[in-house]
Structure 1
Amino acid sequence: MTPTPVGQSPVIRNLKDFDPQSGSAVERALFNHRGLVVLLCIIVTLLLGWQTTRLQLNASFEKTIPAHHPYIQNFLRNQNDLTGLGNAVRIAVANPSGSIYEARYLDVLRRLSDDIFLLPGVNRVQMKSLWTPNTRWVGVTEDGLDGGPVIPEGYDGGASSLQQLNSNIARSGEVGQLVALDSKSSVIYVPLLAKDPQGVLLDYTAFSRQLETLRAKYEGQGVTIHITGFAKIVGDLIEGVRAVLLFFGLAVLIAAAAVYWYTRCVRSTALVVLASLVAVVWQLGLLPALGYSIDPYSILVPFLVFAIGMSHGAQKMNGIMQDIGRGTHKLIAARYTFRRLFVAGLTALLADAVGFAVLLVIDIQVIRELAIAASIGVGVLIFTNLILLPILLSYTGVSEKAAARSLRAEREAGMHPLWRFFDLFTQRRWAACAIAVSVVLGLAGFVASTQLAVGDLDPGAPELRPESRYNRDVSFMTSSYGASIDVLAVMVKTPDGACSNYETLNKVDTLEWELRQLDGVEGTSSLAQLSRRVLAGLNEGNPKWYEFLHNQDMLNTIAAGAPRELYSESCGLLTLNVFLRDHKADTLARVVSHVEQFARNNDSADAQFQLAAGSAGIEVATNIVVKEAWRLMLLVVYTSVVTLCFIAFRSWKAVVVAVLPLLLTSMLAEALMVALGIGVKVATLPVIALGVGIGVDYALYILSITLARMRQGASLSEAYHAALLFTGKVVMLTGATLAIGVITWIASPIKFQADMGLLLAFMFLWNMLGALILLPALAHFLLKPTSTLAASASATLHNADGRDTRTLKGTAPKTSAT
């Protein structure tokens, strides 16, 4: 029998004419027991739906840092001796109508400080404000060196007490730290505990809301409050989840409307959307069952799972609708489509899962959990969209009008100008032009991508918009305190009791001077700098004595009264705090490079200079880990995709045709990130990996049908045209629909969601265009109908052209089932 065109299986109207034992063992196991399959899926959906009620939305500071990086290991080893350099919140309380030296302001500050002291999760021992006893002054009086709390003993709010407070603050060294340069605000420094004494993790959502409650309470009493810190960023992101859910719902509606516009069939549209949403429910239900939560960085994963599900579901629905339109029984149509597209869909989903799983190579727990969550979501799509959806459609079928319309549209599409345009790229002239343009775009994208930076490129919190309350608070801190909230701490390890040795402090003093000359460094503080100040103070403030003298007794005396944040209790660790203008990638790299070079030249048995603590130090370690894993991640994901494609097609030429369009999209996406000012960081890495996985979906669906038709002896033009009519239409539909859905994210109040929306829309569109234009152009030069290429395609794809040994009862083994 002459092979029939791809996508046109023999019309079997009556089930008794169909052999239920035809098809693969997997097909027989599923469709011959489809009632049991549906029942099991309903039970699983109910159980996992109940599990979703246990899913927690929270974040952890410890999960966002690369715990095994040497910098972080240094920080964790010395964490108990480092005051104010971990997870902390800074609350600036400003007096808009005067200065801090007013009794009313100080009373509000005291009450606010007391309320914050009692909040769950606060490290009360290290909390610091003007009212805490660990905020002290040191100075020279008529009686010699003296000191004490900055709030004077017997403070009563009178003029004499306020004058004494002013004097104490001036001698405390806290101007620019706890007290603003213009004396109009002061800071409450609030270090946080990862867990409470009962071992319960800090609830950032609740903590952020408590801060907002206190802000609202005390701003009504004549002050303004500005809050910065990781906990506040996470709290604001979690509050923005409502907007994320809104845009998720909008994307679902857009996708459903587009599928309905294409099918004009309510039941099939509803089932495609239902199957994709069931996958999301399964994914979210499995997370708490496996001991995971969801955080602001992985909140977009459910939408990505839904988007991938819609892409695969639309392909299954389209195939079934076409067969039903020709008169085939709905059950048989479902089995035909399962045969043609299951392996291509499975390969594509495995590629998606691998694209996420490779994120596990990054030593940051929040990314690893995102990778696990996304891989689980893609894994369940195999059951919900490749298996459950065709089985459900085998029960419901599609409306007769929709089926007839689909068949009529297919016949008319043969002469549609759009399909004729895409078919032009199977011809040598157009194919050569497409490849030439792609090479130019690829080279331009590659050159631009070399400028792609690792880390944040903007001050403040780049996850939030510049005009957000948090970033306005950061701007206030920077302008009022002469430096940003970004602190990089260099740890200087010494033998116990030797932190004040002259040789060690002299090296610290030298490094301080060198760092202050670097662009981006606003100031420093250390025991060496304090020694200079005290020495000048002991000599009537004469600046000529602002020198670092070789007098060990004097250095020991100064160290004895120095604040604990400058050295450890055992005097075996010194802390050099470097206050930076911002935490941009270039600033951090410049400072860290200088410190590392200094350490190589000056480390000894008595003093080792170690990086890094402080918010900027932790960000440096994160940037280093991301940079090392970035290219490795792309290498692994492309290697995996190439391997899967080779298993499916058994031809290196077919692999090249499928993968080169993905490579072009990756380079152009990185160029777009440069243009948008987006760096490679925790929030963007998953999108880079996703672009490869989504793109291979489109390529696999089109290429599998093209190869199968060429195996029948069709020309490339005929084979590609058949692929366009069967799967290409849906590739275009899903690519455009998903791009429209995510582009709406640009209106989100969360900036990183808006950035991800732009990147994803770009990738959806370019991957679609690559599959429709560049793929046939490459196929023109690499794939030949008469070569052994098509004949050597994977045996698992043999059903793509409908061949099966037992489809019709009583047929010969080689009868075509297409």
Structure 2
Amino acid sequence: MTTGAAGGGVLVPGALVARLERLIFGHRPLILSLFALGTALFAGLCGWGLRIDCSFNKTLPVRHEYMRTYLDPKAAEFRGANRVLIALIARDGNMFTPEFFAALRKATDEVIVMDGIDRTQVQSIFTPNVRYLEVVEEGIEAGNVVPADFTPTPANMARVRDNIRKAGIIGRLVANDLSGALVSAIVLDQDAQGTAVDPIQVARELELKVRQAIEAPAAAAPPGARIGVRSAASSGLDTLAVPRHGIDVRMIGFAKVMGDIADGVAPVLLFAVITVLLTLLAVRVYCQSWRVAFVPVLCSIVAVIWQLGALVLLRYGVDPIGLLVPFLVFAIGVSHGVQKISAVSDAAFAGLDSTEAARRTFRQLLAPAVVALLADLVGFVTILVIPVPVIREMAITASIGVAIVILTDLVLLPVLVSYVHFDAGYHGRVERRSAYLAPRWRQLSAITAPRPALAIIALAALLAALGWWKGRETPIGDIHAGVPELRPDSRYNRDNDVITSKFGIGVDVLTAIVESQEPVCVSHDLMTAIDRFGWRLRNVAGVQEVITLPFVAKVAIAG
């Protein structure tokens, strides 16, 4: 004997359905106790070990030829995509003041000693790896843009201004209008102990040690006050006054994106509570009983708790980009659960008690529910073929959630609903709703007549054709400035607008590596080819600046 959705169809053997029914409904207290215990344990795991987990390399399509080059150990010294840019902007438009230089030195020193930063690649006008070259009568003169013995005198400020021009860093480390300067840093994948660097922690340290240290004291000062900025270096910049509201700090980079998204977790939790309440209200309106409506919502919450707890057991975290997945699992659980409570309500309306109604629904919907949820599971597992680690993690997280929904909707929900007793007014509420909706359903059913149906089919075909035609124009990748994960008016996107408008550089950097059997710098043909390649890139729309070895050589030779 076999059974299907309504007793027919070869889906699940009838003997197996009967055995499962006796097993589940014959041990209802035990099943509820096991689910309660499991939920408590998984909730404890969530509170103890659930973490935000993000990594720059997880966002890369690792099979793409560009990414294979990026991840090649031979190209390690050319990496630099995971960078942060910290821009200090003088509000009066003049960066050549002692106060601004004190703040810039402080920012540089804080970034250099910060955990997770590659201190050898930190660049600002204060770092010794930013130098100028000049051809003089005696030959070539070179030196740091800001000399080691720098003191904030007018003569030294003029000297630094001249060094900036000779170093060719206007647009890269100094604003085009000389109103500000950058500190550029590379975020490591692992620290010296081999521990993965947390971009979110890097973002928080940047906020605390750089932005707040420079902006917050000034913002808290009374009008006209001047705030001392201390620097670790010993020079005339050790203790200088910073004018109130005189300097803005702007920061962009992957670490800052992840940090800003992580800072939005608290509003997400509030949104989750609102989502649960609105869903409960919608299910109540549908099934006309608070007791029944509570069952699928509770089962879905249990599924989400188990899902998050399972991630802790598997040593996974929640990626900020994947915060949507628990909401998706909750929605899947509610949608499938409502189908079951609808069938239970129909059986109860027909005169069955809650236990018998739950049993009949279990028999009727076991096979369709298994097929539907397995289809959801297969859909998420299919996403695993995308060779981007963060998307694969989202697929694994969603698959775990759907697998748990299968357990909660097929076992926990029937047991819970079997304890629900329908109140005396339930039948009356259902009859009144049916009487109210019946004429409207009759009116809506007119679309199934031949002529309206043909018109709807024709309209659908037209929309499909238009969708295919316009779909070819769909851009791939980012089409707006900033990051789409954050609001256009978010602090990060505002910072991005300021930095890209004042500097000829951003965090979107394409590095082309030339491999050769002979040293490139002594080959005229290779240097010429690289120079032509750089010229072509400069003429590509959207390219802000191109720096090549021949370009640097020309600057050095020309002085």
Runs of 5+ consecutive residues of structure 1 not aligned to the other structure: 8-19, 538-818
Equivalent residue, structure 1, for 2:475:
453
Residues 99/409 of structure 1: CA separation in 2 closer, same or farther (3 Å cut)? closer
1:119 partner letter? M
Equivalent residue, structure 2, for 1:127:
122
1:486 partner letter? D
Conserved 8 A contact 2:83-2:507: no
Q: Secondary structure at the match of 1:524?
A: coil
Equivalent residue, structure 1, for 2:214:
218
Residues 218/79 of structure 1: CA separation in 2 closer, same or farther (3 Å cut)? farther
The alignment's C-alpha RMSD in Å is 2.2
> Which residue, out of 151, 165, 188, partners 2:146?
151
Q: Distance in 2 between matches of 1:111 and 1:426?
A: 73
> Which residue, out of 195, 200, 204, partners 2:195?
200
Conserved 8 A contact 1:357-1:375: yes
Runs of 5+ consecutive residues of structure 2 not aligned to the other structure: 8-13, 219-241
Equivalent residue, structure 2, for 1:103:
98
Conserved 8 A contact 1:321-1:406: no
Deviation at 1:372, TM superposition (A): 0.5
Q: Secondary structure at the match of 1:315?
A: helix
Equivalent residue, structure 2, for 1:476:
498
Deviation at 1:513, TM superposition (A): 1.6
Conserved 8 A contact 1:65-1:365: yes
Q: Distance in 2 between matches of 1:308 and 1:22?
A: 26
> Which residue, out of 237, 240, 254, partners 1:230?
254
2:62 partner letter? A
Residues 248/153 of structure 1: CA separation in 2 closer, same or farther (3 Å cut)? closer
Conserved 8 A contact 1:477-1:485: no
Q: Distance in 2 between matches of 1:397 and 1:446?
A: 51
Matched, 1:291 2:315: yes
Residues 523/408 of structure 1: CA separation in 2 closer, same or farther (3 Å cut)? closer
Conserved 8 A contact 2:135-2:557: no
Conserved 8 A contact 1:59-1:204: yes
2:522 partner letter? S
Residues 173/339 of structure 1: CA separation in 2 closer, same or farther (3 Å cut)? same
Deviation at 1:227, TM superposition (A): 0.3
Equivalent residue, structure 1, for 2:534:
512
Q: Residues 353-381 of structure 1: CA distance to partner in whole angstroms, max 9, x if unpaired?
A: 12222111111100000001011111111
Q: Secondary structure at the match of 1:396?
A: coil
Equivalent residue, structure 1, for 2:336:
312
Matched, 1:430 2:424: no
Equivalent residue, structure 2, for 1:529:
551
Deviation at 1:511, TM superposition (A): 1.0
Conserved 8 A contact 1:312-1:386: no
Conserved 8 A contact 1:57-1:294: yes
> Which residue, out of 361, 386, 392, partners 2:410?
386
Matched, 1:406 2:401: no
Conserved 8 A contact 1:305-1:378: yes
Equivalent residue, structure 2, for 1:332:
356
Q: Secondary structure at the match of 1:125?
A: helix
Conserved 8 A contact 2:87-2:499: yes
Conserved 8 A contact 2:288-2:430: no
Deviation at 1:403, TM superposition (A): 4.3
Query: TM-score scaled to structure 1, two decimals?
Result: 0.61
Conserved 8 A contact 2:122-2:184: yes
Residues 466/161 of structure 1: CA separation in 2 closer, same or farther (3 Å cut)? same
Conserved 8 A contact 2:70-2:76: no
Conserved 8 A contact 2:117-2:187: yes
Q: Secondary structure at the match of 1:525?
A: coil
Q: Distance in 1 between matches of 2:519 and 2:349?
A: 87
* Equivalences for residues 32-111 of structure 1 within 5 A: 32-53=26-47, 54-77=49-72, 78-82=74-78, 85-111=80-106
Conserved 8 A contact 1:139-1:145: yes
Q: Secondary structure at the match of 1:190?
A: strand
Equivalent residue, structure 1, for 2:19:
25
Conserved 8 A contact 2:85-2:185: yes
> Which residue, out of 267, 277, 280, partners 1:253?
277
Conserved 8 A contact 2:87-2:251: yes
Q: Secondary structure at the match of 2:150?
A: coil
Deviation at 1:497, TM superposition (A): 3.5
> Which residue, out of 165, 168, 173, partners 1:170?
165
Q: Distance in 1 between matches of 2:200 and 2:124?
A: 24
* Equivalences for residues 622-637 of structure 1 within 5 A: none
Conserved 8 A contact 1:89-1:228: yes
Q: Distance in 1 between matches of 2:148 and 2:417?
A: 81
1:370 partner letter? M
Q: Secondary structure at the match of 2:108?
A: helix
Q: Secondary structure at the match of 2:514?
A: strand
Q: Distance in 1 between matches of 2:179 and 2:99?
A: 13
Conserved 8 A contact 2:81-2:507: no
Conserved 8 A contact 2:93-2:180: no
Equivalent residue, structure 1, for 2:136:
141
Q: Distance in 2 between matches of 1:513 and 1:116?
A: 34
Q: Residues 250-304 of structure 1: CA distance to partner in whole angstroms, max 9, x if unpaired?
A: 1211111112223342222222211110011011111111121001111011111
Q: Distance in 2 between matches of 1:527 and 1:509?
A: 8
Q: Secondary structure at the match of 2:116?
A: coil
Q: Distance in 2 between matches of 1:72 and 1:92?
A: 28
2:491 partner letter? R
Q: Secondary structure at the match of 2:62?
A: coil
Q: Distance in 2 between matches of 1:60 and 1:468?
A: 22
Conserved 8 A contact 2:146-2:160: yes
Q: Secondary structure at the match of 1:152?
A: coil
1:88 partner letter? R
Deviation at 1:408, TM superposition (A): 5.8
Matched, 1:268 2:296: no
* Equivalences for residues 784-795 of structure 1 within 5 A: none
Deviation at 1:202, TM superposition (A): 2.0
**270-279 or 192-201: bigger deviation:** 192-201
Conserved 8 A contact 1:322-1:407: no
Q: Residues 448-501 of structure 1: CA distance to partner in whole angstroms, max 9, x if unpaired?
A: 222112111112112212221111111111111135442211111123634431
Q: Residues 369-398 of structure 1: CA distance to partner in whole angstroms, max 9, x if unpaired?
A: 000101111111111122211111112233
Q: Distance in 2 between matches of 1:349 and 1:155?
A: 69
2:485 partner letter? E
Q: Distance in 2 between matches of 1:261 and 1:348?
A: 25
Conserved 8 A contact 1:322-1:403: no
1:497 partner letter? P
Deviation at 1:49, TM superposition (A): 1.5
Q: Distance in 1 between matches of 2:518 and 2:122?
A: 26
Equivalent residue, structure 1, for 2:222:
none
Conserved 8 A contact 1:51-1:288: yes
**365-374 or 239-248: bigger deviation:** 239-248
Matched length = 518
Q: Distance in 2 between matches of 1:409 and 1:111?
A: 69
Q: Residues 145-178 of structure 1: CA distance to partner in whole angstroms, max 9, x if unpaired?
A: 1212111242122222222212211111211111
Q: Distance in 1 between matches of 2:549 and 2:360?
A: 78
Deviation at 1:409, TM superposition (A): 4.2
**418-427 or 218-227: bigger deviation:** 418-427
> Which residue, out of 371, 395, 401, partners 1:377?
401
Equivalent residue, structure 2, for 1:750:
none
* Equivalences for residues 764-775 of structure 1 within 5 A: none
Q: Secondary structure at the match of 1:227?
A: strand
Equivalent residue, structure 2, for 1:395:
419
Equivalent residue, structure 2, for 1:186:
181
Deviation at 1:122, TM superposition (A): 0.9
Residues 251/153 of structure 1: CA separation in 2 closer, same or farther (3 Å cut)? closer
Q: Secondary structure at the match of 1:93?
A: strand
Conserved 8 A contact 1:55-1:294: yes
1:76 partner letter? L
Query: TM-score scaled to structure 2, two decimals?
Result: 0.88
1:531 partner letter? A
Deviation at 1:313, TM superposition (A): 1.4
